[in-house]
Amino acid sequence: MSEESDKSSSKEDQKHGLKELTDEKGNKLSPLLPDDVKNYLIDIDGTITDDVPNEEPERMATCEPFEDALETLNRWYDEGHIITFFTSRTEDHREVTTEWLDKHGFKYHGILMGKPRGGNYHWIDNHLVRATRYKGKFTSLVKKTEEIEVFKE
């Protein structure tokens, strides 16, 4: 990572209120967001627009956004949350994806390309992970207890 990238990353960290952490030996740890800021990772195809497969890239430029998705995501952005699109589209689709998001007025902080295809995701992380399955409409998020798989202690 270049010094310029370090400075840019540091500015973004400050902007989002990331808390710097250290372990008992004084070593830096990954920073944490404040409790009131969410780090949204949002799929594109089938979630904010039609489900367009990578094999039909011409449709990526012409599909329409789901209106409730545009309104909800832009509201979350305006509230100070981090919006990152996490898509199975490949790097070859980055330009058409960025142009489409910008054309339709989506506010976002970044795009992560190359999410594995096929669904059935199981995310393992050292940070708290919450998941919400999109079922056709963006609404307010509510708390609900579900059975999940965890590591045996």
Domain coordinates in residue numbering, the chain: 39-153
DSSP secondary structure string for all residues of the chain: --HHHHHHHHHHHHHTTPEEEE-TTS-EEEEE--TT--EEEE--BTTTB----TT-GGGGGTPPBPHHHHHHHHHHHHTT-EEEEE-S--GGGHHHHHHHHHHTT---SEEE--PPSS-------SS--------S-----------------
pLDDT at 5: 43
CA atoms within 13 A on the CB side of 99: 9
Contact (CB, 8 A) for 107 and 77: yes
CA separation for the pair 70, 59 (Å, rounded): 19
Looking at residue 149, its amino acid is E
pLDDT at 3: 45
pLDDT at 83: 97
pLDDT at 15: 64
CATH top class, domain 39-153: alpha beta
Residue 60, number of CB atoms within 10 A of its CB = 21
pTM of the model: 0.81
CA atoms within 13 A on the CB side of 25: 2
> What are 46-82's pLDDT values in tens digits?
999 999 999 999 999 999 999 899 999 999 999 999 9
pLDDT bin (cut points 50, 70, 90) of residue 43 is: very high
pLDDT bin (cut points 50, 70, 90) of residue 31 is: confident
Whether the predicted pLDDT of 2 surpasses 80: no
> What are 87-105's pLDDT values in tens digits?
999 999 999 999 999 999 9
CA separation for the pair 38, 33 (Å, rounded): 8
